[in-house]
Amino acid sequence: MSGWAAGDLATIGRATELELASLRPDGTLRPFVTIWAVRAGDDLYVRSAYGRGNPWFQRALRSGQGRVRAGAVERDVRFEALGPEVADAVTAAYHAKYDRYGAPIVETVVSPEAVRSTLRLVPR
């Protein structure tokens, strides 16, 4: 397994949205942002709907760690930037979970730019 407790993995994976916050240099949490997340296998992933330049994404890259919460689950995580090795599985997971919202919205998280902004959430 990926390090996630089975219940946490299921809860976060099912949540339509989760809240994500990165750590500031002084160790305090930044304000949470609401974001879509998907489960692919035993891992959880997020993407920046507007690409790598999005401020929350840049802060997550710089800090490398933060916190996520979905429903009653709140966990500290590391943010792992990924290459193309999981792109297809994560894109398929986004389509399966969010296509009901329509192609124009889902395109923001499956576009080539969004694929380049994929982060794996690793519990710490």
Half-sphere exposure of residue 63, counting CA atoms within 13 Å on the CB side? 24
Q: The whole model's pTM is what?
A: 0.94
Helical (H) or strand (E) element with 74: strand 73-81
Q: Over the stretch 73-123, which tens digit does the pLDDT of each residue have?
A: 999 999 999 888 899 999 999 999 999 999 999 999 999 999 999 999 999
Give all domains of the chain, ordered by start, each with its CATH number. Answer: 6-123 (2.30.110.10)
Residue 109, both tokens: 């998280």
Cα–Cα distance for residue pair 2/22, rounded to 1 Å: 21
